[in-house]
Amino acid sequence: GTGSNILSALQDLFWLLKSKVEKQLQIISVLQWVLTFLIMGIACTLILMYILCTDCWAIAALYLAWLVFDWNTPKKGGRRSQWVRNWAIWRYFRDYFPIRLVKTHNLLTTRNYIFGYHPHGIMGLGAFCNFSTEATGVGQKFPGIRPYLATLAGNFRMPILRDYLMSGGICPVNRDSIDYILSKNGSGNAIIIVVGGAAESLNCTPGKNSVTLKNRKGFVKLALRHGADLVPVYSFGENEVYKQVIFEEGSWGRWVQKKFQKHIGFAPCIFHGRGLFSSNTWGLLPYSKPITTVVGEPITIPKIDNPSQKDVDFYHSMYVDSLIKLFDKYKSKFGLPETEVLEVN
């Protein structure tokens, strides 16, 4: 009896220690990504400049020569690495929240797609985990489909960061890059565009489900020009992982944010999550709230080389209706009341 009790106690201790180690690995995996998102580009640029001034300048010079040679690669589909997409660190990243990907319909490998991802949130955590890694099984759920998460083109001017992003299948959100993937890269491509962008991030806050979409029609025009089907995607919980100071329209804070958005492409947000060692303190780590990304039914789009405004408006209206229906169908399954309404701005 005593031996059994000791064995049982040791087993309980082992599982407790294992659970704590896994939790710490989850925190580390999320922290490295947050730091990558916030400072990796600037940090790598400064380090490269420093190395140029040392005895190791030749290493930096060789990389810069490679950078010039490789400059247009991000515009041509990038250079994805299945090895990087399958890193174990992304599974710890997934389990921290946790993040889940829900498939509602099959996607044909003979077609190309533009996924509209909503909402942006502060950092688009669900978009990254679901489509730039294999942690939630996007490759198994949509066999034969190559996802490309589109992000700010400025990120691909940053040394090292550009290569890191491309390894996950991330591409610039500009016309050259999207045109190449949808016209010169065969079929079975899915470009994920966070439609609301920086403007939407300024209004994200826990408990609020709103999207910036009414005047965002460029992605519909691209879909028509290439005959790429539109797929609405909604991430329940994306707005819950950070708290943000919301500046009212007309305030100096909102003025500064809009100036940054107009001239640089992103809007600086004042936000916080939890601390590194305690969930009761403020810090850069997101709160561990579940994020569930639901991929909706594709909308078949005809190929029109020069779509009229009427064509764009018609399919944009179809897309908005489809997104609202997707939200209404799944909201109660993921913790929202039946009375919750998706706000479309």
With tokens 């810069």, the residue in question is: 64
pLDDT in the model for residue 250: 76
Q: How far apart are CA 95 and CA 289, in angstroms?
A: 10
* Domain range for 312: 2-344
pLDDT in the model for residue 1: 58
133 close to 95: Cβ distance less than 8 angstroms: no
pLDDT in the model for residue 13: 56
For the chain, 345 residues long, the average pLDDT of each consecutive 10-residue run is: 59 64 93 92 94 93 94 94 96 97 97 97 95 97 97 92 96 94 94 91 89 95 97 97 84 78 72 86 93 98 96 98 97 94 94
Give the pair of three-digit tokens for residue 177: 């890059």
Strand 229-236, strand 210-211: pairing: unpaired
Sign of CA dihedral 144, 194, 29, 98: negative
pLDDT in the model for residue 9: 57
Strand 229-236, strand 291-295: pairing: antiparallel
Q: Is 26 helix (H, G, I), strand (E, B) or coil?
A: helix
Q: How far apart are CA 231 and CA 264, in angstroms?
A: 28
pLDDT in the model for residue 2: 61
Counting the structural domains of the chain, the total is: 1
Amino acid, single-letter form, for residue 130: N
Nearest CA to 320 out of 227, 212, 224 is that of: 212
Give the pair of three-digit tokens for residue 151: 């992000």
Long-range contacts of 264-268 (CB under 8 A, 24+ apart): 264/154, 265/152, 265/153, 265/154, 265/198, 266/152, 266/198, 267/198, 267/199, 267/201, 267/202
Burial of 111 (0-12, 13-18, 19+ CB in 10 A): middle
Strand 291-295, strand 99-103: pairing: parallel
Burial of 199 (0-12, 13-18, 19+ CB in 10 A): middle
pLDDT in the model for residue 12: 55
Give the pair of three-digit tokens for residue 53: 């001034």
pLDDT in the model for residue 280: 83
